[in-house]
Each structure stands twice: as structure tokens, then as C-alpha cells.
Amino acid sequence: MPRVSDRQRIAQDIRDKIASGEYGPGDKLPSLRELIALYQVSAEPVRSALLILQAEGLVEGHQGKGTYVTTRDDAP
């Protein structure tokens, strides 16, 4: 079985936390530094994972303010 990259692992973990409600709409995600410590990786895989989630519309980044879970108007 192929190894899952760090960025894919981190993105999936954050996706799971959003789906479970651990991170709700409008919630601020931990800082880059906190995510680096949490996942024990360098900054690059964390940034890549956040870009993946932004492209999927799950989170949005605000320069200097942090990354937030998007508010989904189409949510049940």
C-alpha cells in the first residue's frame, strides 16, 4: 500500500475534524506553528494541506489573522 504524504494525512485529519464538528463553521484553526507541533512536520506540508483544504472550499485563510472553517450555506 502506498504511503500517504504528510500533506494528505494532515488535510484528511482536518477534514475529519470539520466533519465531526470538532472544528465548526467560523472556527479558527490552530496557528501554523501549533499545527507544525501537532503533526510533527515542517511548515511546508502544513501549508500544502491548508491550500488543499482552501481549494476544496473547507477553509479560508486571512492574511495575518489565521485560517478559518468556511460557513457553508448549503449545509443541512
pLDDT computed for residue 55 by the predictor: 97
What averages of pLDDT result for each successive group of 10 residues across the chain (76 residues)? 88 97 96 97 97 97 94 56
Ordered structural domains, the chain, with CATH:
6-60 (1.10.10.10)
| Phi and psi angles of residue 11, each rounded to the nearest 5 degrees, phi first | -60, -45
CA–CA gap between residue 1 and residue 3 (Å, rounded): 7
pLDDT attached to residue 72: 67
- E strands of 1-76, at which residues? 59-62, 66-69
> How far is it, in rounded angstroms, from Cα 25 to Cα 59?
9
Distance CA 22, CA 36 (A): 19
